[in-house]
Structures are given as C-alpha cells and as structure tokens.
C-alpha cells in the first residue's frame, strides 16, 4: 500500500506542482512503484485467481476449495505449492491431474499417480505448471523490465487505435467534413433548435475527435449565433459541452474509454453501445440544466472572435454529409456488428454463417475498423479541391505527432496500472471490504475512486487510467454479477464530476468563451457533475435490469 500511495503522490505532485508532462509523471511513478514492490507480491498477483486450495487429500484424490475464476480445471501438469515469503524457498510437488469432478462440497481433482504423503498436501495450492512458471519468472524480472513490458503490452492493445482516431479527427477538421456535419444537423432541426443541433453535433464529433478540438471547432458557431440573436450565449456554449464531454469519457476510440475497455476485456463495440446508452441520460440531464442556467444567469458575449464574423464556408466547398459522416459511422457499425454477431448470431445454422463469421470477425476487429475509418477520413480530405498528396501526407503526419503524445501518456498510465496490480493491492482491498460489497457496491467504488483521483489531479483521462489499476484487481477478487462493461462505464462516469482550476479543460472553456472563474464553476463544473452522476445512476439501473451474463 505504501508503494501505491507514493506512486499517486508522484503523479499528483508532478502534474500539479512541478508542472511535469503527464507522461513523465506517470513514468516516474511507475518506476517507483515497481521498485518498491516485493518479488513475493508480484508472484501473488500473477497467480491471483489461478489456484485452488487443497482441503483434503487421499492417495489419488484432492478435495479443492477456493477455486479461482481463472483456474481452468483442465487435465494436465500441475504443482502443489506450499507458500513462503521467499520466492526462492517455494516448495513444489509435481502431479498429473487426469480429470476434475464437481461435487456438492466443491471440486475434486483425480490424479494419475498416487501421492507418497497425502497428509502434507493439505493446505497447499494447486496451480498449473505453466501459470506457476510464468509467475515465478515475472517475480524474478527486474523492475525496469517489468515496466518496459507493461508499456509494450499497453501499446499493443490501443496504440494503433489512438493513431487511427487521430488521423480521423485531423482529416475531418481539415476537409470540412466536421463543419458539414454541424451545418447539416442544424439545418435539419431549424434555427429554433440550434442548441440541440450543437448537442448532437458535438456528441458525434467527440467520438473520433478530442473534446477540446471539438470545442475550438464549434465555439465560433456559438459566438456567431449569439451575435446574430443578441441572447442565449451561455446556452450555445453549454450545448457544445453537453454533447461533447460525455462522449469523451464513455465512447471509444477516445483514449480513456478505450483503455478502460481493453483492461477489462470489454469489446470496443460493447463499450461504444453502452457509452451511448447511458450517456444519453446524462446528456438529457445536462440539457435541462443548460436551459435552467440560461434562464437564471445572463452571460454576455465578451470575447470577439474573428472567425465568428466570417461567413460560413460555402456548401459547395464542403464534402457531402454522407461522405462526412462515414468515417465516424462505419467503424462504430462494424464494431457493433461484431458484438451483435458474437452475442446473438454466431450459433445460427446456415451454410453462409461460416463465411459471415469470418468476414465480420475480420472487419469488426478494432484495429481494422478504425483503420477503415481513417482511410475514409483521408478520402474526404483528398477529394477536397486543390488538395495534393503532399498536403495529405503533412496532415497525417501532424495527426500522428499529436496522437503520439497521447499514446505515450496512455501507455505510461497502463504501465502504472499494471505495477499497481502487481503490488497485489486487489486482494488486500477485497479482504478489507465488507462481505456485502459486491455488484452495485463495486460500481460505486469504481465511480468514487475515479472521481477522487479526477478532483485531485484534474485530468479525466489520467483519472480513468489510474483508477482502473485499483479497481480491476478488486473486481477480480470479488467477482462481477454483471457484464464488465458496466464497471468500465462507472469509471467513465466517475471521470466527469467536480472539474475545477486544476483541469485544463476548465481554463480552455473559461478563456475561450470569456467566462469568469466563478461563472465557469457554476456552469461548466456543475454541469459535468450532474451529467456524471446521472449517467452513473443509469449505469447502475442497466446493470441491475440487464446484467448480460
């Protein structure tokens, strides 16, 4: 626990007081946690939930209790391990298990050969030789190598996805596709519903584009509307925040939800569908607060933005709405189809099903789906008048440069979470929790842990990355009575409440929109807090009503 507290202090103090880049703060904290973790803790974390305890033994039978979720219970080579605080002094006995049988009292392992001293086996742990060898090897690995391996593992999970998402966002902005999406939605709803159009547009754009970029893109439109009507400036600004901020924390491929989903082994399609499903309720609550706040407080347009005076780009110079929306819709559709196919369609009997399963498995792969989205986004840019392949290459290079920084931060956060997991904190916290803590209690824990980290250090993405390292081991120990996507959504919801002066987004919105600090606190901060709590309540209700297990 000391190592975790020290690591968290390094992250918080490094970001807040020393003004270190988030990657450096996370990386230094990761090294410290790894160095302070004993080999025995690393070993315990590696075998967690992969063992079963021997309660009774006879010549060729072992009565097992406390069988872990990842034990496997498959015939093969196993070790009987008697624990010791020193990894070098672990005592092992090799056995071959012919089969496992379920009994009223637990599980029985049938051995091929008899035990010479069955009485000494009582209290030992049964573990597969493969799992044991991996755990011992990991425990003997140096801290720096463990950190390096964790960095590489995280990149393998999400590095390509973030790079492709960056390309999609950059190309949508430069091609005018993002502007086309906003204009089309606004025209379809009419000027009376401009604020609603801004909500829908920002929600859609924030799926592949980072929230601050969406805000920069749409703020001139909000200012232009306020200049034209002479009122409702607060409503137009808040409508952008309402739509964009929840997608940033709940719907991949933005880094936070993408990383959380990968750590919980939740498919990107399931995370996207779940994020939209619970995020809608937060958006509705935020929309009503926006209407109330706009009636209560009159905040004038104080910032003069030249882009707000400029005439909108001619429709003929923008790509069509269909082409503009494809880079966003196609990846989401493919990811969702893979999830639907695996859940409901894979067992259907049809001569074409093997071909269909193969095709949707390939196209619905997260890396393939996002790559196709990036190709479609580049298509919107290359079809722009006077666009050359050289300029396209520069745009992609810029996107990858910006995405590379995000990848570094996310990978460092993943390594930090893995080092926290290797301290075996999950078992310690799970043992200290009341027996009644399960299900909704675990969701509440995930939500409030993320919220506390968010309030302390400011970044929603860093809060999600740091919280997952604490929450996952506990969830593994306790077990989930519902689909893990709900735990991922609870963490995403917890990254929203109580943003204040240590959040870069707070200052972006305050300075760009011309709000004072007090105005930003009572509008932006309260808005995100309401949306986070409402979305969390929607998550809890969905988990109880539709556990999906």
Q: Is the model more confident about 432 or about 281? A: 281
Split at pLDDT 50, 70, 90, the class of 306 is: very low
Span 190-215, average pLDDT: 77
Q: What percent of the chain has pLDDT over 90?
A: 20
Is residue 218 within 8 Å of residue 202, measured between CB atoms?
Answer: yes
Split at pLDDT 50, 70, 90, the class of 76 is: very high
CATH number 3.30.1490 given to 50-140: no
CA 417 from centroid of its chain's CA atoms: 12
Query: pLDDT tens for residues 409-430?
Result: 778 877 887 887 788 765 666 5
Span 80-104, average pLDDT: 85
Cα dist from 490 to 249, 267, 275, 333, 427, whole Å? 10, 16, 10, 24, 21
Query: pLDDT tens for residues 255-300?
Result: 788 888 888 888 888 888 899 999 999 999 999 999 999 999 888 8
- Check whether 249 has a pLDDT greater than 50: yes
Q: Is the model more confident about 524 or about 229? A: 524
Split at pLDDT 50, 70, 90, the class of 205 is: confident
Split at pLDDT 50, 70, 90, the class of 308 is: very low
Cα dist from 341 to 253, 359, 425, 549, whole Å? 21, 11, 37, 16
Burial class for 306, CB neighbours closer than 10 Å (0-12, 13-18, 19+): exposed
Neighbouring-strand partners of residue 61: 110
Return the residue matching tokens 């637990």.
106
Span 195-219, average pLDDT: 76
Position 280 scores a pLDDT of 92
Position 310 scores a pLDDT of 46
- Check whether 40 has a pLDDT greater than 90: no
Q: Which of 487, 375, 473 is nearest to 431 (CA)?
A: 473
Structure tokens that stand for 319 in this block: 């790509």
Tell me the average pLDDT of the chain: 82
Position 434 scores a pLDDT of 57
- Check whether 492 has a pLDDT greater than 50: yes
- Check whether 87 has a pLDDT greater than 50: yes
Q: What percent of the chain has pLDDT over 70?
A: 89
Sorted by where each begins, the domain ranges of the chain are: 50-140, 152-398
- Check whether 47 has a pLDDT greater than 80: yes
């Amino acid at each position: 626990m000391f190592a975790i507290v020290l690591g968290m202090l390094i992250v918080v103090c490094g970001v807040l007081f020393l003004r270190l880049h988030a990657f450096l703060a996370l990386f230094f904290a990761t090294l410290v946690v790894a160095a302070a973790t004993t080999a025995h803790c690393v070993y315990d974390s590696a075998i967690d939930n992969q063992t079963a305890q021997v309660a009774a033994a006879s010549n060729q039978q072992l009565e097992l209790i406390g069988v872990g979720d990842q034990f496997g219970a498959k015939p093969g080579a196993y070790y009987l391990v008697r624990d010791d605080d020193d990894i070098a002094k672990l005592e092992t006995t090799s056995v071959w298990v012919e089969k496992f049988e379920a009994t009223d009292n637990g599980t029985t392992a049938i051995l091929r050969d008899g035990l010479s001293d069955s009485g000494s086996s009582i209290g030992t742990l049964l573990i597969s030789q493969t799992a044991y060898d991996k755990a011992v090897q990991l425990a003997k690995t140096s801290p720096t190598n463990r950190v390096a391996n964790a960095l590489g593992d995280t990149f393998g999970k999400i590095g390509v996805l973030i790079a492709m998402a960056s390309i999609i966002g950059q190309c949508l902005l430069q091609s005018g596709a993002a502007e086309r999406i906003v204009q089309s939605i606004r025209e379809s709803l009419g000027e009376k519903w401009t604020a609603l159009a801004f909500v829908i547009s920002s929600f859609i754009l924030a799926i592949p584009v980072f929230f601050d970029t969406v805000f920069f893109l749409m703020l001139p439109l909000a200012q232009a509307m306020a200049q034209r009507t002479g009122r409702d400036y607060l409503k137009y600004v808040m409508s952008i925040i309402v739509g964009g901020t929840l997608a940033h924390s709940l719907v991949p491929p933005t880094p936070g939800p993408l990383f959380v989903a990968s750590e919980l082994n939740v498919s990107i399609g399931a995370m996207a569908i779940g994020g939209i499903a619970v995020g809608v309720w937060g958006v509705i609550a935020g929309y009503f607060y926006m209407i109330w706040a706009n009636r209560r407080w009159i905040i004038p347009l104080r910032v003069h933005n030249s882009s707000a005076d400029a005439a909108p780009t001619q429709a003929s110079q923008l790509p069509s709405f269909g082409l503009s929306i494809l880079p966003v819709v196609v990846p989401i559709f493919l990811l969702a189809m893979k999830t639907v196919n695996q859940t409901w369609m894979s067992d259907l009997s049809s001569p074409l099903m093997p071909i269909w399963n193969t095709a949707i498995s390939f196209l619905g792969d997260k890396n393939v789906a996002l790559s196709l989205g990036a190709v479609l986004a580049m298509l919107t840019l290359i079809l722009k008048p006077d666009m050359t392949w050289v300029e396209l290459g520069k745009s992609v290079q810029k996107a990858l440069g910006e995405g590379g920084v995000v990848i570094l931060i996310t990978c460092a956060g993943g390594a930090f979470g893995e080092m926290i997991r290797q301290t075996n904190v999950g078992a310690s916290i799970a043992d200290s929790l009341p027996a009644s803590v399960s299900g909704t209690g675990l969701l509440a824990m995930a939500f409030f842990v993320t919220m506390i980290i968010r309030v302390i250090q400011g970044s929603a993405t860093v809060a999600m990355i740091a919280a997952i390292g604490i929450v996952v081991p506990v969830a593994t120990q306790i077990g989930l009575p519902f689909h893990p996507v709900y735990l991922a959504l609870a963490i995403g919801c917890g990254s929203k409440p109580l943003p204040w002066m240590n959040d870069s987004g707070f200052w972006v919105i305050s300075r760009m929109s011309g709000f004072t600090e007090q105005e930003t606190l009572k509008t932006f901060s309260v808005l995100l807090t309401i949306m986070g709590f409402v979305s969390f309540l929607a998550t809890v209700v969905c988990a109880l009503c539709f556990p999906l297990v």
